[in-house]
A and B are shown apart, each in its own frame.
Chain A
Amino acid sequence: MTFDFSPAERDAAIGTSFVAILIGVVMMVSSQSAAFTTHGAMFFAFGVLAFFGFAKDYNKPQAQPYSRDVYYDTPIKLGILLSIAWAIFGFFIGDWVAWLLAYPDLTFDAAWSSFGRIRPAHTTAVIFGFGGNALMATSFHVVQRTCRTSLPGRYGPIFILLGYNLFCLLAVTGYFLGVTQSKEYAEPEWYADILLTVVWVGYFFVFLNTLARREEKHIYVANWYYIAFIVVVALLHIVNNLAVPVSFGDTKSYSAFSGVQDAMTQWWYGHNAVAFFLTAGFLGMMYYYLPKAAGRPIFSYRMSIISFWGITFMYMWAGSHHLHYTALPHWVQTLGMTFSIVLLVPSWASAGNALLTLNGAWDKVRDNATLRFMMVAAVFYGLSTFEGSFLAIRPVNSLSHYTDWTIGHVHSGALGWVAFITFGAIYSVVPQLWKRERMYSPALVEVHFWLALAGTVIYVFAMWNSGIIQGLMWRTYSENGTLTYSFIESLEAMHPYYIARAVGGLLFLMGGLVCAYNVWKTISSSKIVGRVSTSPDGVLEGAA
């Protein structure tokens, strides 16, 4: 993989490597805690590695000078590979957490491997590592193809990807070291947050700059979703992470908000992270790769526009449903509940739009596991958004809150929707990017599909069962008005479901390994086609 930078970009790349080294040195010198020193050392090492990586080709002539007519695919390839690597790591940690809940001894008596530390390592690795890298990679792919223009420069997107992955590494290693600001999905501390802000603003400019150079008058709807993802995540990240560090040499910081305001800000962030990180961006993926693989234009372009604005404006208000029956004012809870219910309309409009697109292409869904991944994703998107609206209703939430039902709901979305659409996109894009006729083994794509589907269904059913049993056991009263079951009794009742969940997770992890192997063999095989061939109806033949 060569970056093929222009001379000015080579200098910029070397320059930013030095900046990373300098930040690392400053952090290590001013450090007042071991964790901060470790993170300083990581900045330093990352800068040194980047320096050698960039310096290697410093004097090489540029193979292909920059032109708007030549797509720049290196960041897409890099992002896809990083995404798969994070997926394997994140699924592995996730399944470990699952077994740990069934067998508490699996921490092996170490602090770093306790539930409170490996659980955020799992969520960060899968959401930001696997999901984030896939979103960045596919956004660079979709925006170039639909705008028929190249990315505005070559170093920008590479800087964004590397900086973003440094952020993910700081986050995950931080949890193992005990560094966290205890905000769900926003656990990394202030210095990692600043890095992400810089990276994200860069991402925003690269994406907008590409759109500005487009040679297609209309901006295809997938890009709208990617823009919403980039803009809103920037907004959420900055506001929710406003904090004052105790010192510039320490990991610890204190939030600018306190009490119920802090809780509301956090769940405004948290739910919109679901909406704009885990939904809008992946809808962008769906609106491009699904019609493309089906060989049919999206069923209703108009409906895609209406659901876009519905999702964009209504999700903003839904976060307070995470704080039912808390100190949050009652009317704010009701507001969140109402918007969550109304959200079902644009959500089902999107899911329906995807499934109706497949009308006339069901034979392809049957024969082609790549397209089937995307079809199942649309089904799970419909299912989990229905469940989400339902769980947001206050009396329903009184049964489900704090139970495994929530975990089941999240995974129906994260596995069934987010991971399935991502794998569909990966299998579409890998043969195209590496100029292979098709994936190394379509049979292994099929194996991955069934492992992933079985894993997801087992996981979700296990959590539905355990969650509802938990909720019922916690609210069952005896004739005397006392609780019938102790907490430990409800915990014992969960044990078989926790084992089932861990088995489901294991199947999903195995599917991920099959995918990684297939991608590796596709890339390393020598069968290169000069041009990705398309059949008359526009289906990538390599996508089988």
Chain B
Amino acid sequence: MTHDFFVMLSKSWGLFYLIFLFGIAVAYALWPANKEKFDRAAKSIFHDQDEK
């Protein structure tokens, strides 16, 4: 657990883990099957009146 170890960790694996997370987020957002769900969600705020 030295300083050099943490520097190595953040400079190498830190990069890969962020790219990996970015990949997951983009795949989730752009997955064709999710389109309908997102469209519905975007319009959902117009149906929430004070009385349910």
Contact surface of A with B, Cβ cutoff 8 Å: 69, 71, 145-146, 148, 216, 218, 220-221, 288, 291-292, 295, 297-298, 301-303, 305-306, 308-310, 313-314, 331, 335, 432, 435, 531-532, 534, 537-538
Q: Contact partner of A146 among B7, B39, B44, B50, CB < 8 A?
A: B44
Say yes or no: B50 contacts A71, CB within 8 Å. Answer: yes
Say yes or no: A291 contacts B45, CB within 8 Å. Answer: yes
Bound-complex Cα distance A69 to B49 (A): 12
Known interface pairs A145-B48, A297-B39, A305-B28; 8 further A-B residue pairs with C-beta atoms within 8 A, sorted by A's residue number? A69-B52, A71-B50, A218-B37, A220-B41, A298-B42, A301-B38, A302-B30, A531-B50
> Main secondary structure on chain B at its contact with chain A?
helix
B1 on the interface (CB 8 Å rule)? Answer: no
Bound-complex Cα distance A313 to B39 (A): 25
Q: Contact partner of B51 among A295, A297, A310, A531, CB < 8 A?
A: A531
Contacting residues, chain B, for A308 (C-beta < 8 A): 25
B9 on the interface (CB 8 Å rule)? Answer: no
Given A69-B52, A218-B37, A532-B50: A306 and B25 within 8 A (CB)? yes
Say yes or no: A309 contacts B50, CB within 8 Å. Answer: no
Say yes or no: A306 contacts B46, CB within 8 Å. Answer: no
Q: Contact partner of B41 among A221, A432, A531, CB < 8 A?
A: A221
Return 25 A-B CB contacts under 8 Å, by A number.
A145-B45, A146-B44, A146-B48, A148-B52, A218-B37, A218-B41, A220-B45, A292-B46, A297-B43, A301-B39, A301-B41, A302-B29, A302-B35, A303-B29, A305-B29, A306-B25, A308-B25, A309-B22, A309-B25, A310-B22, A313-B18, A313-B21, A531-B49, A532-B49, A538-B46
Bound-complex Cα distance A538 to B43 (A): 10
Say yes or no: A216 contacts B44, CB within 8 Å. Answer: yes
Given A218-B37, A302-B29, A313-B18: A534 and B42 within 8 A (CB)? no
| Interface range, B side | 20 to 34
Bound-complex Cα distance A96 to B34 (A): 52
Contacting residues, chain A, for B40 (C-beta < 8 A): 218
Bound-complex Cα distance A331 to B7 (A): 9
A74 to chain B, nearest CB (A): 14
Bound-complex Cα distance A146 to B38 (A): 14
Contacting residues, chain A, for B33 (C-beta < 8 A): none
Contacting residues, chain A, for B45 (C-beta < 8 A): 145-146, 220, 288, 291-292, 297
Say yes or no: B44 contacts A306, CB within 8 Å. Answer: no
Contacting residues, chain B, for A537 (C-beta < 8 A): 46
A499 to chain B, nearest CB (A): 44
Bound-complex Cα distance A531 to B49 (A): 9
B17 to chain A, nearest CB (A): 9
Contacting residues, chain A, for B41 (C-beta < 8 A): 218, 220-221, 301
Say yes or no: B25 contacts A305, CB within 8 Å. Answer: yes
Bound-complex Cα distance A297 to B45 (A): 8
Contacting residues, chain B, for A305 (C-beta < 8 A): 25, 28-29, 38
Bound-complex Cα distance A305 to B29 (A): 6
A300 to chain B, nearest CB (A): 9
Bound-complex Cα distance A331 to B40 (A): 45
Chain A residue with the shortest CB-CB distance to B10: A335
> Quick one: which of A221, A303, A309, A435 has the most chain B CB within 10 A?
A309
A448 to chain B, nearest CB (A): 25
Contacting residues, chain B, for A146 (C-beta < 8 A): 44-45, 48
Contacting residues, chain A, for B37 (C-beta < 8 A): 218
Chain A residue with the shortest CB-CB distance to B21: A313
Chain A residue with the shortest CB-CB distance to B34: A302
Contacting residues, chain B, for A303 (C-beta < 8 A): 29
Contacting residues, chain A, for B29 (C-beta < 8 A): 302-303, 305-306
A12 to chain B, nearest CB (A): 27
> Quick one: which of A295, A302, A432, A532 has the most chain B CB within 10 A?
A302
Chain A residue with the shortest CB-CB distance to B48: A145
Say yes or no: A302 contacts B38, CB within 8 Å. Answer: yes
A455 to chain B, nearest CB (A): 31
Contacting residues, chain B, for A288 (C-beta < 8 A): 45
Contacting residues, chain A, for B43 (C-beta < 8 A): 297
Chain B residue with the shortest CB-CB distance to A68: B52
B45 to chain A, nearest CB (A): 6
> Quick one: which of B37, B49, B52 has the most chain A CB within 10 A?
B52
Contacting residues, chain A, for B52 (C-beta < 8 A): 69, 148
Say yes or no: A534 contacts B49, CB within 8 Å. Answer: yes
Say yes or no: B21 contacts A148, CB within 8 Å. Answer: no
> Quick one: which of B11, B18, B22, B46 has the most chain A CB within 10 A?
B46
Chain A residue with the shortest CB-CB distance to B30: A302
Chain B residue with the shortest CB-CB distance to A316: B18
Chain B residue with the shortest CB-CB distance to A297: B42
B26 to chain A, nearest CB (A): 6
- What are the 5 A-B residue pairs with the smallest beta carbon separation, nearest first? A538-B46, A297-B42, A309-B25, A145-B48, A301-B38
